[in-house]
Amino acid sequence: MTVIHHRYATVRGQRLFYREAGPADGPAIVLLHGFPTSSFMFRNLIPALADRYRVIAPDHLGFGLSAAPPADEFDYTFDALADLTAGLLDQLEVRRYAMYVQDYGAPIGWRLALADPDAITAIISQNGNGYDAGFIPNFWRTVWDYHRAQTPETEAGIRGALTLETTKWQYLTGVPDETLVSPDTWHHDFALLSRPGNDAIQLALFRDYATNPPLYPALHEYLRHRLPPVLAAWGRNDPIFGPDGARAFATDVPDAEIHLLDGGHFLLESAGTEVAELIRDFMTRVTAGR
Catalytic residue set: 265
Three-class SS state of 273: helix
- Dist CA 14 CA 88 (whole Å): 10
240 phi/psi in degrees, rounded to 5: -110, -50
What is the per-residue DSSP string for 33-84? --SS--GGGGTTHHHHHTTTSEEEEEPPTTSTTS----TTTS---HHHHHHH
Q: Cα separation of 23 and 53, whole Å?
A: 6
Closest CA to 126 of 228, 223, 233, 29: 233
First to last CA, the chain: 29
